[in-house]
Amino acid sequence: MNEELQLKLQAYLDGELPEAEAREVAAWLAQDSGAVGLMTELKNTRAALALHERGVNVPESREFYWSKIRREIERSDAAAHRPAPAPVSPFKWLRRALAPGMGLALVVATLFLITRPGTTAPGLGLTVATADAGTFTYRNFESGATLVWLPYPAENRLAGGGSGGNLQQQ
Amino acid sequence: MAEKNHSTAADLKLVEWAQGGDMDAFEELVARHRDKIYARAYSMMRSEDVALDLSQEAWVRAWQRLQQFQGDSSFSTWLTRITINLCLDQLRKQKRQKAESIEEMDEESGGVERQMPAVTINPTERLERGELRQRIDTALGQLSHEHRTVLVLHEFEEMEYKEIAKTMECSIGTVMSRLFYARRKMAALLAGLKNED
């Protein structure tokens, strides 16, 4: 029996043949013992598999099985409701790279102003403070102006949710 | 408003309640169908741990997609399809990770099994139920995942060739060939004509 006939016999068993072809196979089965033998084998295998399927159960208690599902549902629901992170600026890396250098430049400029002979006007108050790591304050008591340098990254609480180094003037 | 009785409600009613956020209704559905879903995953994956994980993942997916369930089929059928797709995805991943073995390539052609004489012994009559189950289990484990999946979808899910071809993304001819090979190999293994190693 060639492969095509074997597959046709199987299709007959599975009810997949058009009516005309099914009639042909039925006639063939009536006179070919080889085809009958193969058909019997296919039927027996099907019956055995049907029996097997009924015996498989979850190897865990109902409560334990459900608890894992529930936990995962709650976890995924929480993740779905979490706000999306703020969009990342394409210049973030540049600000991050320049922030320490700019802070240092501010210190140097301040020291230069303090130490430069003849430039300190009477009554000029000048304070450089490092209240937090990397934070500098410049205060001019005469004019009442204050400049605060807040470095990046934003995890510094003084910077709040701001992005990058900020100069605030009061 | 009438009080909900989860244990006596029909599946469709439970689904309706679950669609409204009633987690207890969903738990009742899990309790009712967990064995069938696990059995399907196990028959395809052949590993208790993997079957547990995938069956539970299927339930989570079902919860997330519950609004998409329109009742065109039974809830059980809908969920089983989710499980089958998850298993197929997992099997495809596994297949990508390891090259097909020589045996599996040989199975694809199924040349040897096609030439075997027909096994006319009925295993359901000859073997004790426990022994038969054990043999079927072993035999299923010896099939490549493609052959096993075709067998499972056809014999257990009662899918037609066309539907199996669509699910497995192959031709109907391939489905027929794989199914034939898988059945013949199962018959030989159940009759003890072929080494189970």
Residue-wise pLDDT for B133-144, tens only, equals 888 888 888 999
Q: In whole angstroms, how large is the CA radius of gyration of chain A?
A: 41
Distance CA A52, CA A103 (A): 74
Distance CA B73, CA A119 (A): 87
More confidently predicted of A137 and A88: A137
Q: Which of B11, B159, B24 is nearest to B85 (CA)?
A: B159
User: For chain A, what is the mean pLDDT?
Assistant: 75
Helix or strand or coil: residue A150?
strand
pLDDT at B106: 47
pLDDT above 90 (res B27):
yes
Residue from the list A7, A65, A68 with its beta carbon closest to the beta carbon of B177: A7
Q: What is the ipTM of this complex?
A: 0.81
More confidently predicted of A130 and A142: A142
User: Which residues does chain A have within 8 Å of residue B34's beta carbon, measured at their own beta carbons?
Assistant: 58, 62, 65
Q: What CA–CA distances, in Å, run from B159 to A24, B100, B108?
A: 24, 26, 21
User: Token pair 């009559």 is at which residue?
Assistant: B125
User: Which residues does chain B have within 8 Å of residue A14's beta carbon, measured at their own beta carbons?
Assistant: 154, 161
Amino acid, single-letter form, for residue B151: L
- Mean pLDDT of the region A58-64: 95
Helix or strand or coil: residue A91?
coil
Distance CA A21, CA A114 (A): 104
- Mean pLDDT of the region A17-39: 94
CA distance A165 to chain B (A): 42
How would residue B40 be classed by pLDDT, with cut points 50, 70 and 90?
very high
- Mean pLDDT of the region A21-34: 94
pLDDT above 80 (res B73):
yes
pLDDT at A165: 42
- Mean pLDDT of the region B62-73: 94
User: Token pair 């019956």 is at which residue?
Assistant: A47
**Of all helices (H) and strands (E), which one includes residue A138?**
strand A136-140
Report CB contact under 8 Å: A47, B124.
yes
More confidently predicted of A44 and B127: A44
pLDDT at B133: 82
Q: Report whether A22 contacts A10 (CB < 8 A).
A: no
A139-161, pLDDT tens digit by residue?
776 777 777 767 665 544 444 44
- Mean pLDDT of the region B45-71: 96
Residue from the list B114, B129, B156 with its beta carbon closest to the beta carbon of A3: B114
Report CB contact under 8 Å: B60, A76.
yes
pLDDT at B49: 96
- Mean pLDDT of the region B87-93: 94
Those residues of chain A whose CB sits closer than 8 Å to some CB in chain B are 3, 6-7, 10-11, 14, 16, 34, 37-38, 40-42, 44-53, 55-60, 62, 65-66, 68-70, 72-73, 76
More confidently predicted of B99 and B39: B39
- Mean pLDDT of the region B172-176: 97
Lookup: tokens for A153: 């990254």
User: Which residues does chain A have within 8 Å of residue B79's beta carbon, measured at their own beta carbons?
Assistant: none
Kindly write down the DSSP assignment for every residue of B85-121, as one continuous string.
Answer: HHHHHHHHHHHHHSPPPHHHHHHHHTHHHHHSPP---
pLDDT at A169: 47
pLDDT at A132: 56
pLDDT above 80 (res B34):
yes
User: Which residues does chain A have within 8 Å of residue B30's beta carbon, measured at their own beta carbons?
Assistant: 65-66, 69
Question: Could you tell me what percent of chain B has a pLDDT over 70?
Answer: 86
Distance CA B109, CA B78 (A): 33
pLDDT at A53: 67
Helix or strand or coil: residue A168?
strand
User: For chain B, what is the mean pLDDT?
Assistant: 87
DSSP B152: I
Minimum CA–CA partner of B29 in chain A: A66
pLDDT at A62: 95
Distance CA B166, CA A121 (A): 86
Q: Is omega for the bond preceding A153 within 30 degrees of 0, making it cis?
A: yes
User: Token pair 């072993």 is at which residue?
Assistant: B138
The number of beta carbons lying within 10 Å of the beta carbon of residue A150 is 23
Beta bridge partners of A147: A138, A169
CA distance B102 to chain A (A): 22
pLDDT above 70 (res A52):
yes
CA distance A75 to chain B (A): 10
Distance CA B129, CA B124 (A): 7
Q: Which of A32, B68, B55, A64 is nearest to A9 (CA)?
A: A32
How would residue A59 be classed by pLDDT, with cut points 50, 70 and 90?
very high
**Of all helices (H) and strands (E), which one includes residue A93?**
helix A92-115
Q: Which of A166, A55, A121, A48 is nearest to B151 (CA)?
A: A48
Residue from the list B60, B132, B161 with its beta carbon closest to the beta carbon of A48: B132
DSSP B183: H
A67-111, pLDDT tens digit by residue?
999 999 999 888 887 776 666 666 666 666 676 677 677 677 767
* Neighbour-count burial of A89, counting CB atoms closer than 10 A to its CB (0-12 exposed, 13-18 middle, 19+ buried): exposed
Give this prediction's pTM.
Answer: 0.68
